[in-house]
Amino acid sequence: MSPVLTTRARAKLNLSLHIVGRRDDGYHELESLVAFGSLADHLALEPGRTESLMVRGPFAHIAGQDQDNLVLKAVRQLRQFKPALRSGSLTLTKYLPAQAGLGGGSADAAATLRLLARLNGFSLDDPDILAAARLTGADVPVCLHSKPVMMHGIGDRLGAPLALPKFYAVLVKPPIGMATPEVFRQLGFEKGQRSKRLPHPEMSTVTTDGIIPFLKLLGNDLQGAACALAPVIGECVSALSRQQGYQLARMSGSGSAVFGLFDTDKNAKNAASRLTRLHDTWWVKPTVIG
């Protein structure tokens, strides 16, 4: 019997997210500095002839176990390119909330492709793996290696891996989810419209000591639109900004989760504990981003 293969699907954080414009086909182009947190879903693959998916964990009820789950979609997309693909029984343990801007489903799909690549002896840089990632979802390619990187286009163009310092952070998600298309519609870009925003600055000259001031110069262009739809997102940002050791707070992706960066691990954990006591309906977790 082949051994069970396992991997972690780490939370994706958009440290910045700038909208470049909207293409004629309706898709929005962006520039985003992406990093990954220590919080993660867990995925296991037991090789075999029977292909199935079982989802469990705190957020299993949201993820679903049917053919719409991105885990199974990733398998189907890769099989289009690799008809003899070996697979098996997949077990996904969901610790990350959905509709949060944390890339949970995309990270799960990328984790699936990593396990299938390992089982079948493929490189993660195999063009078929990359094609399957792009077809599965916009954030799946960046989640394949789960390393800090600049993401461009509709998520299909990635820069070289970046060496970022370790960030001590707190993730906060209010008890609502955000549908990405609704947030983009709120943004109001017409087809073919380009942003007047300056290009995203390069990371090449940023020192470790200068990373927080650098991040403060950036932003998430979707945050205002999301807050207009759900003002509680702004409340989460404000709550993080009042905590000891706070350095920066910002929404990730299209929301509804926000992250706060802190100067020490202790201050991040203390902030998480305090926010949990004050807001018992919010999902609050300390994490390390890198």
Residue 20 contacts residue 194 (beta carbons within 8 Å): yes
Q: 25 an active-site residue?
A: no
Distance, in Å, from the CA atom of 208 to the CA atom of 36, rounded to the nearest integer, reads 17
Between CA 199 and CA 136 the distance in angstroms is 28
Count Cβ atoms below 10 Å from residue 163 Cβ, excluding itself.
Answer: 9
Q: Residue written as tokens 């706060």?
A: 260
Whole-angstrom CA distances from 274 to 72, 193, 235 are 38, 43, 15
- Which one is catalytic: 108, 139, 173, 221? 139
Q: Is residue 261 within 8 Å of residue 214, measured between CB atoms?
A: no
CA 192 to chain centre: 27
**Rounded CA gap, 36 and 143, in Å?**
9
Report in angstroms the alpha-carbon separations of 124 from 89, 107, 162, 247: 21, 14, 18, 36
Q: How far apart are the first and last CA of the chain?
A: 36
Angstrom CA distances, 237 to 120, 124, 199, 226, stand at: 44, 36, 25, 12
Q: Is 128 a catalytic residue?
A: no
Polymer length in residues for the chain:
290
What is the set of active-site residues?
12, 139
